Structure 1
């Protein structure tokens, strides 16, 4: 998400909150400070909940559960969210220091790139999950014969490669430089300028790059993925409603499907709406006080909501699965049994591992939509 100053160079902070040194928002100083504090708190909560929640998902799906196609999807989703939330302390520090970036140019580029890698990876993993469930319902025989862990791993690798490719421009254009107001303050910003010259040609190139990145992010990060997800689940719900026997056996998928669509839309739609508003606003040469106010308030709120999505994914896509809950509960129980076991006393781990494996074989089958 971008916040831009009213300067021809389009010097942007792109932290998701209004920059502490942006002259463009001086008339909203008190409001900006309050929103910056709110954003820092949200980022801290997202860091704690995201690292813990996604860490547990990685531990359980990667080391405790039987490998299935679904666990491959959930594991990759959790890894993307974990990497993103693990970098959030850098953004919190940036805000706390008055938007001074002390970590150097490379970390500025890396931090921003990880953010968009997470965004694209998460979105397209959700697309893959939707298409996988679509094929399992519409073409169950084909899916049973062709779905396997190896192919799912290859598809996941392809998603990561695609996400890295789509995120490359954010690594290239991210830069560090002194603030306009204080040269001692080093901002981490998107630098679309090809030179330091302030000429009409340079400004036109900057605006063109800004438009290209905003529109491509909107289309490839939201419109196309969301259209595929909605289309897949619309067909799935239609098929399940026609097949009453299957629908009565699969009441949980209906709730999960609704949660997936609603949460995805609520978390990401405001982010991209603000993207489009900013694009329209900064593409003009005049100031609009109403849009100024909307952007000042909307940018941090929309960005924080999008970041919270990385905490909700474990709840929506994994914790609602009975197989995950059973495995997590038994794994934690085994950890404590081992920790507090008297020396020389018999262990129950071996006997329970057989029971866990049997439970997983049965429950994993039931969670395949």
Structure 2
């Protein structure tokens, strides 16, 4: 029997008198020309462990609380905004945008990968995920560039130090990611695989070419270039911070907080965004060129969902950046917490009685130190 004798589709069946799955390959036949035929094998969908959905939803719900609180602090407790404040505010909004998806994702996983909410909600989910993912990357990159310019070139004028210019940059980022999200939502929607309705799933064979092209287009400009820029900026920033005089308590505190801030930013890129981009690339390559290797496809699919959980964790990590990069934000948070009866003892308050001479002894840097930036 040659390829032309194969049926175009064969479903997976389970005999009623057996507890084992009787697997019949699902063949999809694509005519390349009049003389050749390529055959793509579709593997059965396997439900993922519910723990993935539980952890993901917990992260998104925690991220929602943290970012709503952060947005509230920016809007209500910090009336005077500087360029750094503007960038951090837009990052918080970008993080909060994905969090309402938590209940929908939980139901999706709980139903074994069956999407019950319709095509419109599927496309909305895709648009929000895309907007959040690339919006967070770009705003983090702008924050790293702004901090680099503010510290390394603090005596020079720069357009990044102008609020109007930064607002235009943020508007441009939002326009870019919203258009990207809309394009992704227009190209990809829900589809039926076997007897299940799926949304943004690698088993959507009809979308594999779209997935492959989108990943290729988005990977370099959407992740690799921003990550390289951020890495360069933070390396230079760390070198500048290393020159701070640590003979006094304030110098030690500034240096410690600055290194923590740099570490958090690099962890966000390395832990949250790098695995997702790498694993997603592997997934689309395996699905497109090795679709018959069901065991390999199942493993990379699991890795994809794990990387998805990691990428969502940036919603919870980004608020740490606000605390380490802006003393004004930290003070506003402490003030807000005191109003509800929560008091946080800070190292600054703990060492307040040790003398005031350390307040003016940070060598090489003026009082706008990089952990404050007067944002």
TM-score, normalising length from structure 2?
0.72
5+ residue gaps, structure 1: 11-21, 338-361
Structure 1 residue aligned with 2:116 = 102
C-alpha offsets along residues 251-296 of structure 1, whole Å, 9 cap, x if unaligned? 0212211221123211122212211211321232563466335314
- CA distance, structure 2, for counterparts of residue 9 and residue 333 of structure 1: 66
Distance 1:189 1:130, change over 3 A: closer
Q: How does 1:217-366 map to 2 (within 5 A)?
A: 217-242=218-243, 244=245, 250-251=254-255, 252-285=257-290, 287-288=292-293, 291-318=296-323, 321-334=326-339
Q: Which of these residues, 72, 86, 90, is aligned with residue 72 of structure 1?
A: 86
Aligned-pair CA distance for 1:114: 0.6
How many equivalent pairs are there?
A: 311
Report whether the alignment pairs 1:39 with 2:52.
yes
Q: Which of these residues, 106, 121, 126, is aligned with residue 92 of structure 1?
A: 106
Structure 2 residue aligned with 1:340 = none
Q: What is the root-mean-square deviation in Å for CA atoms of aligned residues?
A: 3.4
Q: How does 1:131-150 map to 2 (within 5 A)?
A: 131-143=145-157, 147-150=161-164
Distance 1:146 1:186, change over 3 A: closer
5+ residue gaps, structure 2: 1-24, 31-40, 343-366
Q: Would the aligned equivalents of 1:322 and 1:363 in 2 still touch at CA under 8 Å?
A: no
Q: Decide which moves more: 159-168 or 136-145.
A: 136-145
Q: Which of these residues, 111, 122, 132, is aligned with residue 118 of structure 1?
A: 132
Distance 1:365 1:302, change over 3 A: closer
Aligned-pair CA distance for 1:188: 2.3
Q: Which of these residues, 187, 202, 205, is aligned with residue 198 of structure 2?
A: 187
Q: Would the aligned equivalents of 1:58 and 1:79 in 2 still touch at CA under 8 Å?
A: yes
State the SS of the aligned residue for 1:140.
Answer: coil
C-alpha offsets along residues 308-335 of structure 1, whole Å, 9 cap, x if unaligned? 1112111233367443232122123336
State the SS of the aligned residue for 1:186.
Answer: strand
Aligned-pair CA distance for 1:112: 0.9
Distance 1:365 1:97, change over 3 A: same
Report whether the alignment pairs 1:49 with 2:62.
yes
Aligned-pair CA distance for 1:128: 0.5
- CA distance, structure 1, for counterparts of residue 327 and residue 243 of structure 2: 25
- CA distance, structure 2, for counterparts of residue 192 and residue 44 of structure 1: 23
Distance 1:316 1:24, change over 3 A: farther
Q: Would the aligned equivalents of 1:192 and 1:210 in 2 still touch at CA under 8 Å?
A: no
Higher helix share: 1
Q: Would the aligned equivalents of 1:39 and 1:300 in 2 still touch at CA under 8 Å?
A: yes
Q: Decide which moves more: 121-130 or 270-279.
A: 270-279
Q: How does 1:11-50 map to 2 (within 5 A)?
A: 24-25=43-44, 29=46, 32-34=47-49, 37-50=50-63
Q: Which of these residues, 152, 167, 172, is aligned with residue 158 of structure 1?
A: 172
- CA distance, structure 2, for counterparts of residue 53 and residue 175 of structure 1: 30
Structure 1 residue aligned with 2:74 = 61
Q: How does 1:194-213 map to 2 (within 5 A)?
A: 208-213=209-214
